[in-house]
Amino acid sequence: MMRSLLAILFLCVCGSKAAAPSCSYEGRGTLSSTCYNANAAYFRKTTYRFDNLDETVRCVNCTLQIIEGGTFDLSGNQIKNLILNNAQITVLKPKSFIGLVFLRVLVLSDNNIVSVPPETFQGIAKVEVLDMERNSLTSLKANGFKELTNLRKLNLKDNRIKEIENGSFTGLGLLDELNLANNDIFDLSAIFTGLENIALVNLEGNKIATITSGDLPLLRKLSQLNLAGNSLKKLRANDFLPLPRLETLNISSNPIDTIETGAFRGLEALESLDLSNCMIASIQRGLLSALHELRLLDLSHNRLEIFQTGVFSGIPELRRLNMSHNKIASYEKTGIFPLHSLHILDLSSNSLEDLDYKLLVHHLPSLSHIALENNPWPCYLKKEMEELFVHDNLVFDLG
């Protein structure tokens, strides 16, 4: 009995001993190595020789905490991808990554980094992708990313960023993708300065309440902008005028109740517009007339009470229109031009009790799918519509 207890005690003591830090090559052809249980000091004194076979280095179960300057100044290394996610990093010092001259991808996600001081990234100018998702950043300081002159993709999603200083993105003239989703940003004024080549910006889930004149400079290459889940209440004329090449605009899940005429002026290249889950009660005629390339329009989950075709007659390329989950009780054919390109129409979950379905189909000659379920149709009308839709080879859902 005593011998068994001693054996268990020995195993517990041995098992509680911290595993020694080490780095090892993952095997022939992988071009990857993994470092286990390391702290920052380990990299400064390790005897492991990083060479041309160690293109990707991962840190597993590491406790790096403070990254001092020169921590990764590893003789002879040719590391291209450094994966330091969930490594308990809290502080980055100037020149944290100096010596990684071949580095292309740096992953610092799922840490507790609170700031990016100037010169943090000195010496790694070839980096093209920086991932700092899910950290504890509260602000971005001027020149914090200045040395990353070849950066193409910057992910700062799921932090606590409230303030972005002017010059925060200085040096990032080649950046084409910026993700700032799920932060606490309320001001757009400093975000786009110096980002003349930006193509995709994600600002979903912030606290932006207004777009003021000058917030959006002329951005000739911006093709996707996501402002969903903010606090916008009003879209004013010319808000998006400086975005002539924008193709996708998502403004869903904002408390928008007012859209001024001319709000979408200048968006000649726009193909997809998402205005779902807002508080829109009406669409003025002419509001969408400048959107000659628009193909997808989502107005679902709003407060619309009438479907007037004339509102959309200035959109010759419109293929899909979603007006489900509104309060639409009537349909009116307005405007002299039919919607020749519309293939899919969703009017489900509204308050329609009557519908001139023959006129509707006539005005939508390319219609192939129509959703009308969850409306209070009388039985006779459902049967009549079903017969017509079958005759016209329409895919339909009447509930």
What structural domains does the chain harbor?
21-207 (3.80.10.10), 280-398 (3.80.10.10)
Q: Is the pLDDT of residue 363 over 50?
A: yes
Mean pLDDT of the region 340-350: 95
Nearest-angstrom CA–CA distance, 55 and 31: 5
Three-state DSSP at 63 gives: strand
Summarize the confidence of residues 224-234 as an average pLDDT: 98
pLDDT (tens digit per residue) in 160-217: 999 999 999 999 999 999 999 999 999 998 899 889 999 999 999 999 999 987 888 8
Is pLDDT larger for residue 215 or for residue 2?
A: 215
β-partners of residue 276 are: none
Quick one: pLDDT band at residue 336, thresholds 50, 70, 90? low
Q: b or e along 310-344 (b: 16 or more beta carbons within 10 Å of the residue's beta carbon)? A: ebbbbbeebbbbbbbbbebbebebebeeebebbbb
Smallest CA-to-CA distance from 38 within 87, 72, 73, 82 is with 87
What is the DSSP pairing of strand 22-25 with strand 32-36?
A: antiparallel
pTM, entire model: 0.91
Cβ neighbours of residue 235 under 8 Å, at least 6 residues apart?
Answer: 211, 251, 256, 258, 259, 260, 263
What's the token pair of residue 152? 């193409």
Residue 16 has pLDDT above 60, yes or no: no
12 has a pLDDT exceeding 80: no
Give per-residue pLDDT as tens, 272-318. 999 999 999 999 888 998 899 999 999 999 999 999 888 888 899 99
Task: Spell out the alpha helix ranges (H) of 76-212.
Answer: none
> DSSP 3-state assignment of 289?
coil
pLDDT in tens, 237-263: 999 999 999 999 999 999 999 999 999
